[in-house]
Amino acid sequence: MVQIGQSTHGENIPQFAKAPHVLILEARFYNDINDHLIVGATEILEKAGATWEIRTVPGALEIPVALKFASQRKNDKPFDAYIVLGCVIRGGTTHYEIVSEESNRGVMKMSMKYDLALGNGILTVENVAQALERADKAGQNKGGGAAMAALTMLKLKQSFGLAE
């Protein structure tokens, strides 16, 4: 039984015959929060035997376009799965709603359009304390959760014969 707030991201990590190559796209706007998200994600990828690349974009709104670029990459090894990480903290204006809704809408649109095995770790929170609790691997480990989601979706995609 899992208690609220208890992370299970280290359990039942999918294993693959061939090491998956994963792109981590991060919107590095809050360095401390992103550092925690990256640690959580890369620890799960390492346990799965995956390789990864990290690319940084200015903010959460740029992640969907970067996903599109990455899914169409022709000059190097293609990505098997994608992880998006970032944080949007509510402020005193409507900017929070626009960024959180449009970045997530764009991520889902790209995932559906390009059949991407994807884990979404873009945090949408009220304050820095909430963000740190969700990002820290000793807390909710949302970076690890996004990595688990990406790997699980890749395994599902493979089970339908849509990926090697």
Distance CA 109, CA 67 (A): 10
Task: Retrieve residue 80's tokens.
Answer: 């098997």
> Which of 9, 21, 36, 95 is labelled catalytic?
95
Contact 32, 2 (CB under 8 A): no
Rg of the chain over all Cα atoms, to the nearest angstrom: 15
Task: Retrieve residue 41's tokens.
Answer: 């994600």
Contact 125, 87 (CB under 8 A): yes
* Residue 95 among the catalytic residues: yes
Which residues are marked as active site?
A: 95
